[in-house]
Amino acid sequence: MSYQPYGPQDLDLINQVLQQHPEVDEVIRALKTISSKGKYPIQSFDDLAASLGGPKDSVTFRGQSLTVEQLRSLIPSYYFPINSQQDLIAKIGDVRGSGKTDQPTHPEPPEHWEEPNKAVPPGLGPPEKPKVSDEEHQKRVKEGKPTGIKKA
């Protein structure tokens, strides 16, 4: 399915989706702020910070309020320059997906969740430990005798 831009008739639907997916709303709001106050290319974190209102202003990242200065530790220096809005979108996605905050990457399982069976099916695990001592095993290997390990 190829991408088709949304039109004005989709605005109500888009707003409903954004209410249920605040992470997308967070990204859009950051992009609007940065693009309206800054210009591309953004050469450094300091330029990015200025477009976000300065190091003491706050931003929302993964639902948490951080100062712009705290955001610095999440954005690698090699991300700069940011050459365009499209480049910024890609880099925001990368930083959001990097898991560099204390937030869990995956939600807690629902109450009805059952732990999967952790038993390894026969033949798929590591080889069995020999049923003989290490010295006896080494001796049998050297002599070409059975080692006490079942072969698959």
SS3 36: helix
Q: What is the mean pLDDT of the chain?
A: 78
pLDDT of 108 above 90: no
Packing angle, helices 85-97 and 22-37, rounded to 10: 140
Report residue 87's pLDDT band, with 50, 70 and 90 as the boundaries. very high
Give the integer Cα–Cα distance in Å for 144 and 152: 18
CA distance 66 to 53: 13
By three-state DSSP, how is residue 132 classified? coil
**Does residue 22 carry a pLDDT above 70?**
yes
Residue 100: the pLDDT is: 47
With cut-offs at 50, 70 and 90, classify the pLDDT of residue 13.
very high
Average pLDDT over residues 40-56: 93
Residue 60 has phi, psi (to 5 degrees) of: -105, 125
Q: Averaged over 77-96, what is the pLDDT?
A: 90
Cα 132 from Cα 128, distance rounded (Å): 11
- For 18-22, 34-38, 131-135, which range has the lowest pLDDT when averaged over its residues? 131-135
CATH class of 12-97: mainly alpha
